[in-house]
Structure 1
Amino acid sequence: MSTPALVLRNFTFGCSHTSLGEPIGVAGFGRGLLSLPAQLSTFSPHLATQFSYCLVSHSFDQDRVRRPSPLILGPYDQKQKRFGDGAGGSVEYAYTSMLDNPKHPYFYSIGLAGVSVGKRVFPAPEILQGVDENGNGGIVVDSGTTFTMFPQGFYNSLVAEFDRRVGRVHERATRVEDETGLGPCYYYEKVVDVPAVTLHFAGNKSSVLLPRRNYFYEFVDGGDGAGRKRKKVGCWMLMNGGDEAEMSGGPGGILGNYQQQGFEVVYDLEKHRVGFARRQCALLWDSLNQR
């Protein structure tokens, strides 16, 4: 898909070798006047109203060829978007409100009401539900961070329930946990039955059911010449963000890109909301390039 060249006057950009807490994001898609969508709006105003991306599934196999993840600037014809859903039907988005943060105005923050592990719902701590007047709390939707991170107490509750359901059937792969830093991990032979994980948002009371691969990574351990027998292993893929008391100076948690894979994530800047829809991102990429 070819596009005509753009000539933008007085365009602001920068380069960095070492950065800590980039205020507008690595690619300049954070909120604010210096963001890429805002600056492109001088060329075409509708580009500042919305953008979305669809992250293809992670693969740790370097030999597998992956299509790029599509990035869409501005509103898009929903009939065209339907080609990427793999079903030919309408695309359903789960929207939740953006939260303003006076201390970190460039973040895309949302509120988390709770997380379900199976049928059991765990209410989120107050620090995840909203942003206070000092800019503390909320969940940052961040495509530049790999894994979702929750405060330690809340995280431990989710892991305990997950382990109660899976650990009573499958052996813990403690050596894999020690070597990879992931956990809990389990050995299994054929199929491992894991409970569903659902995110419940505070804004609009919407929910997103995570695909299994977005929170449970399955691979084969051993058989690498070290004398270990090859075994199938599955690991929990959400992370401990640390003690809540240590997180009082900023966001309460992060929704990382591993949990966003296979979703189109829409940043509706005009209506002040973030939306999530299950998509086949590779098909969406193909459909966009056929135009």
Structure 2
Amino acid sequence: MASAIASSIFLCLLLLLLPHLGYSYHTSRYTRGSTHFVVRRSDDLPRASAPPVSCSPIPSGASNGKKLPVLHRLNPCSPLNAGGKQSTTSSVDVSHRAGRRLRSLFAAVQSGDDAAPAPAPAAASGGVTIPTTGTPEPGAPGFHDYTVVVGYGTPAQQLAMAFDTGLGISLVRCAACRPGAPCDGLASFDPSRSSTFAPVPCGSPDCRSGCSSGSTPSCPLTSFPFLSGAVAQDVLTLTPSASVDDFTFGCVEGSSGEPLGAAGLLDLSRDSRSVASRLAADAGGTFSYCLPLSTTSSHGFLAIGEADVPHNRTARVTAVAPLVYDPAFPNHYVIDLAGVSLGGRDIPIPPHAATASAAMVLDTALPYTYMKPSMYAPLRDAFRRAMARYPRAPAMGDLDTCYNFTGVRHEVLIPLVHLTFRGIGGGGGGQVLGLGADQMFYMSEPGNFFSVTCLAFAALPSDGDAEAPLAMVMGTLAQSSMEVVHDVPGGKIGFIPGSC
């Protein structure tokens, strides 16, 4: 009798608690050789849903001056996602953003760019790490998931800025948006509050618009036709110990064109006006970033300077790729991709693809990795053969190799992708970079393999198209969780997995 009563009480309590509980599957993961195993383990009983994330204020450069966090825009601790209001984004939105970024990335190639690459900076001591947070970037040229917190003007106005490694000039919203405009409510820089703000006059070396002092007193911003503004200079403060005087940027009218998201874009390109060129010249000529793998729980960083980039790179660098110059992308950081392997086996590349340009741009906004069709098709076909036991799912935008793992009861075996870079001088003997399973997939439910999941590689426009892009693109998913070291004076890119 007592046991029956106890059972009834337990059942009642369970029914009362069910609305507050969630069923979940735990996974265990391990790698053998070039195959990754994801094992599904279900709980016998429901468990309480994860408690709300408690976030302490994100440190800024003024608080500790050095290694500071970078967060994905969906991280509940991001100040631009207050309270974790947005935890996921739809695959349609991601595909739309990726498509727009890809088009805008190559639009500059077809129209030309007025930016100039910087000379190799001289080595120097010192260094700085920049505080970063995350936000969506719905403006030009594309969308960005990460921002850095910097100060503009005197006194410094702290602004969250997305960062881009090929922009050519930084962009800052310099006036509040009119009520109802797309950027209404977003932060902006107020030049009237800065004692060091100065417009760049026509005829200045920093003005590349071709204007004359007789036509207009200040240099118009012409690199982005959908934005209205002028080129200006002010003090850029990264931390109390690192600042750039007379930093050149595009001062964008608040309500012009599309919103820049956050307060603008910070340029880390090879252009002489970028923060990487200006600051790295006095800090060893080296910078790095580590983009966090998890959109909700991990941190990354952005570092500039020999002292911080990174302390132990000699011992932990997994692969090094020589930097190459691509005239179509003079401001971007470009490496050569020599080959691809899957599950420990080299993917056969057609002869015409093997002899064609293998340039690959490193991008900090595009999530997926785009390859020439002649290189992507053999990889896709080999991957589909290896994954034939699992149910396929419809394509998601450009991602045409998708699977529905929701009904898989036990485990998923994933053949891993390895990228081989060309060696010094474009020859053989290049180093190999292995990608983890998380770096290979876009998951409809972030971090959950047992959802609808797609291979995060796609094909560029046809090789035979004369107007097709001339370079492949390594996206943020493939670069995530590894420190990507840009050693510009040394002419190389280093990859350090497991850095954030």
Normalising by structure 1, what TM-score?
A: 0.72
Aligned CA distance change for structure 1 residues 257 and 173 (closer, same or farther; 3 Å): same
Take 2:243 and 2:445, find their aligned partners in 1: how far apart are those partners? 50
User: Does structure 2 conserve the Cα–Cα contact (< 8 Å) formed by 1:110 and 1:130?
Assistant: no
User: Does structure 1 conserve the Cα–Cα contact (< 8 Å) formed by 2:269 and 2:332?
Assistant: yes
Deviation of 1:35 (Å): 1.6
Take 2:477 and 2:454, find their aligned partners in 1: how far apart are those partners? 13
Q: Select the residue among 296, 303, 315 that pairs with 1:72.
A: 303
Q: Deviations over 1:14-33 (max 9, x none)?
A: 155669xxxxx952111121
Aligned CA distance change for structure 1 residues 98 and 178 (closer, same or farther; 3 Å): closer
Residues 1:202 and 2:419 are matched in the alignment: no
Deviation of 1:121 (Å): 1.2
| 2:345 partner letter | R
Residues 1:95 and 2:331 are matched in the alignment: no
Q: Deviations over 1:167-208 (max 9, x none)?
A: 1x112123xx36895523243322110111100001340110
Equivalent in the alignment of 1:254: 473
Take 1:6 and 1:78, find their aligned partners in 2: how far apart are those partners? 15
The SS at the match of 2:267 is: coil
User: Does structure 2 conserve the Cα–Cα contact (< 8 Å) formed by 1:110 and 1:203?
Assistant: no
| 2:392 partner letter | R
Take 2:365 and 2:397, find their aligned partners in 1: how far apart are those partners? 24
Deviation of 1:78 (Å): 7.4
Equivalent in the alignment of 1:237: 456
More strand per residue: 2
Deviation of 1:138 (Å): 0.8
| 1:171 partner letter | P
Deviation of 1:120 (Å): 2.4
Take 2:324 and 2:498, find their aligned partners in 1: how far apart are those partners? 25
Residues 1:45 and 2:296 are matched in the alignment: no
Equivalent in the alignment of 1:288: none
Q: Deviations over 1:133-191 (max 9, x none)?
A: xxxx5110111221110122321211110010111x112123xx368955232433221
Equivalent in the alignment of 1:118: 343
User: Does structure 2 conserve the Cα–Cα contact (< 8 Å) formed by 1:139 and 1:252?
Assistant: yes
User: Does structure 2 conserve the Cα–Cα contact (< 8 Å) formed by 1:111 and 1:129?
Assistant: no
Q: Deviations over 1:247-283 (max 9, x none)?
A: 65543210011100011000001111111111231xx
The SS at the match of 1:31 is: coil
Deviation of 1:124 (Å): 5.2
Deviation of 1:58 (Å): 3.8
Bigger CA drift: 203-212 or 10-19?
10-19
Deviation of 1:239 (Å): 1.6
The SS at the match of 2:316 is: coil
Take 2:297 and 2:423, find their aligned partners in 1: how far apart are those partners? 38
Aligned CA distance change for structure 1 residues 128 and 252 (closer, same or farther; 3 Å): farther
Equivalent in the alignment of 1:287: none
User: Does structure 1 conserve the Cα–Cα contact (< 8 Å) formed by 2:392 and 2:402?
Assistant: yes
Residues 1:170 and 2:390 are matched in the alignment: yes
User: Does structure 2 conserve the Cα–Cα contact (< 8 Å) formed by 1:263 and 1:278?
Assistant: yes
Take 2:445 and 2:476, find their aligned partners in 1: how far apart are those partners? 23
Q: Report which structure shows greater RCO (CA 8 Å, sep ≥6).
A: 1
Aligned residue pairs, count: 245
Take 1:113 and 1:232, find their aligned partners in 2: how far apart are those partners? 33
User: Does structure 2 conserve the Cα–Cα contact (< 8 Å) formed by 1:128 and 1:138?
Assistant: no
Bigger CA drift: 9-18 or 146-155?
9-18
Take 2:493 and 2:475, find their aligned partners in 1: how far apart are those partners? 14
Aligned CA distance change for structure 1 residues 7 and 258 (closer, same or farther; 3 Å): closer
User: Does structure 1 conserve the Cα–Cα contact (< 8 Å) formed by 2:399 and 2:454?
Assistant: no
Equivalence map 1:11-90=2 (5 Å)? 11-15=247-251, 26-41=265-280, 45-47=282-284, 49-59=285-295, 64-67=296-299, 69-76=300-307, 80-81=311-312, 90=315
Take 2:492 and 2:310, find their aligned partners in 1: how far apart are those partners? 21
Aligned CA distance change for structure 1 residues 39 and 80 (closer, same or farther; 3 Å): closer
Aligned CA distance change for structure 1 residues 116 and 248 (closer, same or farther; 3 Å): farther
Equivalent in the alignment of 1:285: none
Identity of aligned residues (%): 26
User: Does structure 1 conserve the Cα–Cα contact (< 8 Å) formed by 2:343 and 2:416?
Assistant: yes
Equivalent in the alignment of 2:142: none
Deviation of 1:56 (Å): 0.7
Aligned CA distance change for structure 1 residues 58 and 238 (closer, same or farther; 3 Å): farther
Equivalent in the alignment of 2:234: none
Normalising by structure 2, what TM-score?
A: 0.44
Deviation of 1:5 (Å): 5.6
Take 1:249 and 1:219, find their aligned partners in 2: how far apart are those partners? 29
Aligned CA distance change for structure 1 residues 159 and 170 (closer, same or farther; 3 Å): same
| 1:237 partner letter | A
Residues 1:184 and 2:402 are matched in the alignment: yes
Take 1:139 and 1:79, find their aligned partners in 2: how far apart are those partners? 23
Take 2:478 and 2:466, find their aligned partners in 1: how far apart are those partners? 21
Take 1:155 and 1:180, find their aligned partners in 2: how far apart are those partners? 12
The SS at the match of 2:361 is: strand
Take 1:277 and 1:110, find their aligned partners in 2: how far apart are those partners? 16
